[in-house]
Amino acid sequence: MCRRWLFLVLIVPLHASAADIVVSAAASLSNSFSEIGKRYEAKHPGDNIVANFAASDVLLKQIEQGAPVDVFASADEQTMDRAAQSNNIEKSTRKDFASNALVLIVGVNAKSPAKLDDLADSDYAHIAIGNPDSVPAGRYAKEALTAAKLWDKIQPQIVPAQNVRQALDYVARGEAQAGFVYATDAETQKEKVRVAMTVPTSTPVRYPIAVTTTSQHADAAKAFVAFVNSADGQAVLKKYGFSAP
Protein backbone atom coordinates (compact mmCIF):
# COMPACT_ATOMS: atom_id res chain seq x y z
CA MET A 1 0.00 0.00 0.00
CA CYS A 2 2.79 2.44 0.92
CA ARG A 3 4.69 1.60 -2.24
CA ARG A 4 1.71 2.55 -4.36
CA TRP A 5 1.52 6.01 -2.79
CA LEU A 6 5.22 6.54 -3.40
CA PHE A 7 4.77 5.63 -7.02
CA LEU A 8 1.97 8.19 -7.42
CA VAL A 9 4.00 10.89 -5.71
CA LEU A 10 6.74 10.30 -8.26
CA ILE A 11 4.36 10.39 -11.21
CA VAL A 12 2.34 13.48 -10.32
CA PRO A 13 5.06 16.12 -10.46
CA LEU A 14 6.22 14.81 -13.83
CA HIS A 15 2.71 15.27 -15.18
CA ALA A 16 2.15 18.66 -13.59
CA SER A 17 5.05 20.23 -15.37
CA ALA A 18 3.24 19.73 -18.68
CA ALA A 19 0.73 22.43 -19.52
CA ASP A 20 -3.02 21.77 -19.43
CA ILE A 21 -4.39 24.30 -21.85
CA VAL A 22 -8.14 24.80 -21.44
CA VAL A 23 -9.78 25.88 -24.67
CA SER A 24 -13.39 27.09 -24.49
CA ALA A 25 -14.76 26.97 -28.02
CA ALA A 26 -18.20 27.49 -29.58
CA ALA A 27 -20.27 24.33 -30.01
CA SER A 28 -19.98 24.50 -33.78
CA LEU A 29 -16.21 24.02 -33.43
CA SER A 30 -16.59 20.65 -31.66
CA ASN A 31 -15.26 18.42 -34.40
CA SER A 32 -12.67 20.75 -35.91
CA PHE A 33 -11.14 21.85 -32.61
CA SER A 34 -10.99 18.29 -31.29
CA GLU A 35 -8.83 17.38 -34.27
CA ILE A 36 -6.79 20.57 -34.07
CA GLY A 37 -6.20 19.84 -30.40
CA LYS A 38 -4.82 16.39 -31.21
CA ARG A 39 -2.55 17.71 -33.91
CA TYR A 40 -1.27 20.41 -31.60
CA GLU A 41 -0.52 17.83 -28.90
CA ALA A 42 1.39 15.77 -31.46
CA LYS A 43 3.57 18.77 -32.24
CA HIS A 44 3.96 19.89 -28.65
CA PRO A 45 4.42 16.76 -26.57
CA GLY A 46 3.83 17.48 -22.93
CA ASP A 47 1.05 19.98 -23.63
CA ASN A 48 -2.48 18.71 -23.06
CA ILE A 49 -5.44 20.43 -24.75
CA VAL A 50 -8.59 20.31 -22.66
CA ALA A 51 -11.54 21.30 -24.85
CA ASN A 52 -14.77 22.75 -23.48
CA PHE A 53 -17.61 23.16 -26.01
CA ALA A 54 -20.83 25.07 -25.41
CA ALA A 55 -22.72 28.10 -26.70
CA SER A 56 -20.38 31.11 -26.87
CA ASP A 57 -22.35 33.17 -24.33
CA VAL A 58 -22.29 30.30 -21.87
CA LEU A 59 -18.53 30.00 -22.27
CA LEU A 60 -18.08 33.71 -21.67
CA LYS A 61 -20.23 33.46 -18.56
CA GLN A 62 -17.95 30.75 -17.22
CA ILE A 63 -14.85 32.85 -17.92
CA GLU A 64 -16.41 35.89 -16.24
CA GLN A 65 -17.14 33.78 -13.17
CA GLY A 66 -13.51 32.77 -12.92
CA ALA A 67 -13.32 29.47 -14.76
CA PRO A 68 -9.66 28.58 -15.46
CA VAL A 69 -9.76 29.01 -19.24
CA ASP A 70 -6.70 29.81 -21.37
CA VAL A 71 -8.15 30.27 -24.86
CA PHE A 72 -11.60 31.47 -25.94
CA ALA A 73 -12.96 30.93 -29.46
CA SER A 74 -16.41 32.43 -30.09
CA ALA A 75 -18.86 32.08 -32.97
CA ASP A 76 -19.45 35.81 -33.27
CA GLU A 77 -17.67 39.10 -32.76
CA GLN A 78 -20.36 40.34 -30.39
CA THR A 79 -19.49 37.87 -27.66
CA MET A 80 -15.78 38.47 -28.06
CA ASP A 81 -16.47 42.23 -27.87
CA ARG A 82 -18.15 41.68 -24.51
CA ALA A 83 -15.18 39.62 -23.39
CA ALA A 84 -12.88 42.48 -24.37
CA GLN A 85 -15.04 45.06 -22.61
CA SER A 86 -14.95 43.13 -19.36
CA ASN A 87 -11.20 42.67 -19.68
CA ASN A 88 -11.32 38.91 -19.91
CA ILE A 89 -9.16 38.64 -23.02
CA GLU A 90 -5.78 39.97 -24.04
CA LYS A 91 -6.87 42.28 -26.82
CA SER A 92 -3.54 42.01 -28.58
CA THR A 93 -4.02 38.27 -29.08
CA ARG A 94 -7.47 38.56 -30.68
CA LYS A 95 -7.64 37.29 -34.25
CA ASP A 96 -10.34 36.11 -36.65
CA PHE A 97 -9.58 32.57 -37.70
CA ALA A 98 -12.56 31.28 -39.68
CA SER A 99 -15.90 32.14 -41.11
CA ASN A 100 -19.04 30.11 -41.63
CA ALA A 101 -22.38 30.27 -43.33
CA LEU A 102 -25.79 30.12 -41.72
CA VAL A 103 -28.03 27.54 -43.38
CA LEU A 104 -31.63 26.43 -43.09
CA ILE A 105 -31.86 22.67 -42.74
CA VAL A 106 -34.72 20.20 -42.91
CA GLY A 107 -34.90 16.46 -42.25
CA VAL A 108 -33.74 14.31 -45.18
CA ASN A 109 -37.23 13.19 -46.00
CA ALA A 110 -38.90 16.52 -45.38
CA LYS A 111 -40.29 19.06 -47.77
CA SER A 112 -37.73 21.72 -48.63
CA PRO A 113 -38.86 25.32 -48.35
CA ALA A 114 -38.16 27.25 -51.56
CA LYS A 115 -37.81 30.52 -49.69
CA LEU A 116 -37.68 31.67 -46.07
CA ASP A 117 -41.34 32.77 -46.17
CA ASP A 118 -42.37 29.14 -46.65
CA LEU A 119 -41.47 28.55 -43.00
CA ALA A 120 -44.74 30.17 -41.99
CA ASP A 121 -46.43 27.06 -43.40
CA SER A 122 -48.08 24.87 -40.78
CA ASP A 123 -46.05 21.92 -42.05
CA TYR A 124 -43.15 23.35 -40.08
CA ALA A 125 -44.66 22.80 -36.65
CA HIS A 126 -41.32 23.16 -34.91
CA ILE A 127 -38.41 25.26 -36.11
CA ALA A 128 -35.23 24.84 -34.08
CA ILE A 129 -32.84 27.70 -33.53
CA GLY A 130 -30.24 28.36 -30.84
CA ASN A 131 -31.65 30.50 -28.03
CA PRO A 132 -30.82 34.04 -29.23
CA ASP A 133 -30.20 35.11 -25.63
CA SER A 134 -27.22 32.81 -25.35
CA VAL A 135 -26.32 31.33 -28.75
CA PRO A 136 -24.69 33.29 -31.60
CA ALA A 137 -26.21 31.01 -34.23
CA GLY A 138 -29.61 31.90 -32.81
CA ARG A 139 -28.81 35.58 -33.05
CA TYR A 140 -27.76 35.26 -36.69
CA ALA A 141 -30.98 33.39 -37.41
CA LYS A 142 -33.11 35.93 -35.57
CA GLU A 143 -31.40 38.71 -37.47
CA ALA A 144 -32.16 37.05 -40.80
CA LEU A 145 -35.76 36.27 -39.86
CA THR A 146 -36.35 39.78 -38.57
CA ALA A 147 -34.98 41.19 -41.82
CA ALA A 148 -37.39 38.94 -43.74
CA LYS A 149 -40.20 40.19 -41.44
CA LEU A 150 -40.85 36.62 -40.32
CA TRP A 151 -39.59 36.66 -36.71
CA ASP A 152 -42.89 37.63 -35.07
CA LYS A 153 -45.01 35.53 -37.41
CA ILE A 154 -43.22 32.25 -36.76
CA GLN A 155 -42.71 32.78 -33.00
CA PRO A 156 -45.20 30.00 -32.04
CA GLN A 157 -43.18 27.53 -34.10
CA ILE A 158 -39.78 28.45 -32.68
CA VAL A 159 -38.10 25.90 -30.42
CA PRO A 160 -35.10 27.47 -28.70
CA ALA A 161 -32.11 25.13 -28.27
CA GLN A 162 -29.28 25.37 -25.74
CA ASN A 163 -26.66 25.47 -28.46
CA VAL A 164 -26.40 25.07 -32.23
CA ARG A 165 -25.69 21.32 -31.96
CA GLN A 166 -28.89 20.75 -30.04
CA ALA A 167 -30.80 22.60 -32.76
CA LEU A 168 -29.15 20.28 -35.27
CA ASP A 169 -30.12 17.25 -33.19
CA TYR A 170 -33.76 18.29 -33.01
CA VAL A 171 -33.93 18.36 -36.83
CA ALA A 172 -31.90 15.16 -37.22
CA ARG A 173 -34.31 13.40 -34.87
CA GLY A 174 -37.35 14.67 -36.67
CA GLU A 175 -38.73 16.49 -33.65
CA ALA A 176 -38.21 19.80 -35.45
CA GLN A 177 -39.10 20.00 -39.11
CA ALA A 178 -36.60 22.76 -39.87
CA GLY A 179 -33.72 24.51 -38.15
CA PHE A 180 -31.02 27.14 -38.44
CA VAL A 181 -27.46 25.90 -38.02
CA TYR A 182 -24.07 26.53 -39.54
CA ALA A 183 -23.13 24.87 -42.83
CA THR A 184 -20.38 23.05 -40.95
CA ASP A 185 -22.87 21.58 -38.46
CA ALA A 186 -25.15 20.33 -41.21
CA GLU A 187 -22.14 18.47 -42.67
CA THR A 188 -21.73 16.40 -39.50
CA GLN A 189 -25.22 14.95 -39.84
CA LYS A 190 -25.55 14.85 -43.59
CA GLU A 191 -27.32 11.48 -43.61
CA LYS A 192 -30.12 12.88 -41.50
CA VAL A 193 -30.48 16.51 -42.54
CA ARG A 194 -30.49 18.37 -45.82
CA VAL A 195 -29.52 21.98 -46.47
CA ALA A 196 -32.52 23.75 -47.94
CA MET A 197 -30.78 27.08 -48.48
CA THR A 198 -27.94 29.28 -47.30
CA VAL A 199 -29.27 32.16 -45.25
CA PRO A 200 -27.60 35.49 -45.90
CA THR A 201 -26.87 37.44 -42.75
CA SER A 202 -26.09 41.15 -42.64
CA THR A 203 -23.47 40.43 -39.97
CA PRO A 204 -20.91 38.08 -41.45
CA VAL A 205 -20.47 34.88 -39.49
CA ARG A 206 -16.90 35.25 -38.33
CA TYR A 207 -15.06 33.42 -35.56
CA PRO A 208 -12.53 35.27 -33.38
CA ILE A 209 -10.08 33.59 -30.99
CA ALA A 210 -8.11 35.11 -28.10
CA VAL A 211 -6.03 34.31 -25.02
CA THR A 212 -7.68 35.06 -21.69
CA THR A 213 -6.23 37.53 -19.21
CA THR A 214 -6.41 34.95 -16.45
CA SER A 215 -4.47 32.26 -18.31
CA GLN A 216 -1.78 30.55 -16.25
CA HIS A 217 -0.04 29.30 -19.38
CA ALA A 218 -0.01 32.43 -21.57
CA ASP A 219 2.89 31.27 -23.76
CA ALA A 220 1.38 27.87 -24.49
CA ALA A 221 -2.01 29.53 -25.06
CA LYS A 222 -0.51 31.94 -27.56
CA ALA A 223 1.20 29.02 -29.28
CA PHE A 224 -2.15 27.29 -29.62
CA VAL A 225 -3.80 30.38 -31.08
CA ALA A 226 -0.93 30.63 -33.56
CA PHE A 227 -1.43 26.97 -34.48
CA VAL A 228 -5.10 27.54 -35.21
CA ASN A 229 -4.12 30.32 -37.58
CA SER A 230 -1.30 28.34 -39.16
CA ALA A 231 -1.55 26.38 -42.38
CA ASP A 232 -2.09 23.17 -40.40
CA GLY A 233 -4.92 24.58 -38.35
CA GLN A 234 -6.57 26.26 -41.31
CA ALA A 235 -6.41 23.03 -43.29
CA VAL A 236 -8.35 21.20 -40.60
CA LEU A 237 -10.95 23.95 -40.47
CA LYS A 238 -11.33 23.85 -44.23
CA LYS A 239 -11.80 20.10 -44.06
CA TYR A 240 -14.81 20.60 -41.84
CA GLY A 241 -16.34 23.22 -44.12
CA PHE A 242 -15.19 26.47 -42.58
CA SER A 243 -14.05 29.26 -44.87
CA ALA A 244 -11.14 31.62 -44.40
CA PRO A 245 -11.89 34.56 -42.06
Partner 1 sequence: MSSDAIVPLLLTLKVASLATVLASIVGIALGKWLGRHRTFTRNVAESLLTLPLVLPPTVLGYYLLVVLGRNGFIGEWLMRWFGVSLIFTWQGAVIAASIAAFPLILRAARASFSDVDAQLENAARSLGASETEVFFRATLPLAWRGILAGALLAFARAMGEFGATLMVAGSLPGRTQTLSLAIYDAVMAGDDARAESMVIISLIAAVVLLIFAAQLLQRRKHT
What residue ranges bind partner 1 (CB under 8 A)? 55, 57-58, 61, 126, 131, 133-134, 158-162, 170, 173-175
- What is the CB neighbour count within 10 angstroms for residue 197? 16
| Between 44 and 126, CB nearer to partner 1 | 126
CB of 3 to partner 1, least distance (A): 36
| Between 90 and 169, CB nearer to partner 1 | 169
**Which amino acid appears at position 206 of this protein?**
R
Q: Which residues, 6 or more positions from 155, have their beta carbon under 8 angstroms from its beta carbon?
A: none
| Between 54 and 221, CB nearer to partner 1 | 54
| Between 133 and 219, CB nearer to partner 1 | 133
Burial classification of residue 65, based on how many CB atoms lie within 10 Å of its CB (0-12 exposed, 13-18 middle, 19 or more buried)? exposed
Cross-sheet strand order for the sheet of 206-211: 48-54, 20-26, 71-73, 206-211, 95-99
